[in-house]
Amino acid sequence: MVTQLIDVLETAAIVISGFLIKKYVFLEPDMEGGRQRKFYLLSVLVTGIVFLLFGKDAASMAALLMIGLNICLGRKKKRLLGLFLMIPFPGIINGLLVPALLVPPYLLALPEQETRIYQLVIYGVLLVLLLLFYVKGKNWRSWFGENMQHRSLRKSEKYLLWVIGILMLFFANNTTMQITVDSNNVRAADSMYGRGLAPFIGITSVSAFVMTITIIVLIVQGNKRSFYHERLSGMQSGMITFMAEIVENRDDNTGGHIRRTAAYVEQIAKELKRQGAYPEILSDRYMRDMIVAAPLHDIGKIHIPDAVLNNPGRLSEEEFAVMKTHTTAGEELLKHAREELGESGYLNTAVEMAAYHHEWWNGRGYPYGISGEEIPLCARIMAVADVFDALTSKRCYKDAMPVEKAYAIIREESGTHFDPAVAEAFFACTGGEHVNR
């Protein structure tokens, strides 16, 4: 009777711990709405039926399959990979349960009956902890669901969990000793490994157990820190865009110029990366910095007088000379910000965008007259985005140009004004690749 009860509790522990690991360690999303609760009930029902018909081992396998199915249904993409994700689950689950359930009785040389009582106590403690988590942890679970729903494990963390899962499965299998004491007072572990090796297996299992707990805690904490870093970066990016819009709104006719150009920059950069262009420059970090920095490319216009900035007619040579200073003014502003705030990838990129986005590929631009790859890549990308949006937007001194004509101008000036590779990436990602070829 006690043995059967322990089998039931062990199966229940696999179901519960599996779903907890799925959500709080692997950060796999739940199904939407009330479907997740229904799936929990379905999993318990299926596992229970399999347990009654085929026994504990089959029920454990059914529980793992239900967890894998839940992962698949909770995902919005790459759903079938959820079935493979359950592979390390048995090792992690058994690795967490087996040392606590079997190693202490082995080390204490408990007889079979006392071992069963010990295991019942452990399951009782786990049940109490689970109830406390359910009753007292509501606020924490709400916080977790709200703040971590957009987080996912990095590849390195997934690989680490897979390695831990496989190692723990090995140790769990080797420490599932069926720790009983026969008439000769010989434990099954002694018979399996020899009395000299059995203690080593037990100690190693405890070490692996501690290591697994430590790694899981570090991963969860690392994801929490990453989430807050991303949240802070998002707030920072929003503040940057807001500040840039304040500057932009001095010109009532530019509208959403900075947002549109930032979107073009992102599309062009992703297309260049897809094509394999400039692989030594276009790292993921560089691309993120470029997208965040893009709204600041015209920040220097804060120093341009309204009479010049909102002139409805053609600028005179003197006025155009003043307008051109927005590049160096922006460069100086952002360099000062960098001195005050400290080194930052996006501020370095913002300095380059502000200073060089009016440079030409052939060296005939301003303010420094540099050419080719002397011009930072971020500024070459911004040059295309800036000109295209200026051409297709209504300004105080002109109407919006038809998109086809703007494409034709970008095509015509590829190799003179614009980096040819950047121009081609622009056409590829915006649908203008067949214009005037």
User: What pLDDT was estimated at residue 400?
Assistant: 85
- Structural domain of 383: 249-430
Distances from the Cα of 77 to the Cα of 28, 73, 177, angstroms: 12, 10, 41
For residues 48 and 183, state if they share a domain.
no
pLDDT exceeds 70 at position 383: yes
Dihedral pair phi/psi, residue 395, rounded to 5° = -125, 170
For residues 103 and 58, state if they share a domain.
no
> Pick from 229, 260, 295: which residue ends a domain?
229
- More confident of the two residues 192 and 399: 399
Q: Is residue 262 part of a domain?
A: yes
Other C-beta atoms within 10 Å of 2: how many? 12
For residues 161 and 44, state if they share a domain.
no
For residues 287 and 188, state if they share a domain.
no
In this predicted model, what pLDDT tens digit does every residue of 222-247 receive, in sequence order? 665 555 555 655 566 666 666 666 66
Q: What is the DSSP letter of 30?
A: P
- More confident of the two residues 141 and 117: 117
Closest to 395 measured CA to CA, from 408, 405, 386, 384: 386
Average pLDDT over the chain, rounded to whole? 79
pLDDT exceeds 70 at position 408: yes
Average pLDDT over residues 29-43: 85
For residues 204 and 337, state if they share a domain.
no
User: What pLDDT was estimated at residue 128?
Assistant: 86
CA distance 191 to 282: 60
- More confident of the two residues 163 and 298: 298
User: What pLDDT was estimated at residue 256?
Assistant: 79
User: What pLDDT was estimated at residue 365?
Assistant: 95
Give the pair of three-digit tokens for residue 34: 């009330």
For residues 91 and 75, state if they share a domain.
no
For residues 286 and 267, state if they share a domain.
yes
Q: Residue 286: CA atoms inside 13 Å, Cβ hemisphere, count? A: 17
In this predicted model, what pLDDT tens digit does every residue of 245-255 receive, in sequence order? 666 666 654 55
Q: Is residue 120 part of a domain?
A: no
Give the pair of three-digit tokens for residue 286: 């560089």
For residues 271 and 296, state if they share a domain.
yes
pLDDT exceeds 80 at position 202: no
The three-point CA angle 386-412-255 to 5° equals 20
Distances from the Cα of 367 to the Cα of 150, 322, 358, angstroms: 43, 11, 7
**304: domain CATH number?**
1.10.3210.10
Q: Is residue 123 part of a domain?
A: no
In this predicted model, what pLDDT tens digit does every residue of 94-113 receive, in sequence order? 777 777 777 677 667 777 77
Give the pair of three-digit tokens for residue 129: 């902890």
User: What pLDDT was estimated at residue 166?
Assistant: 77
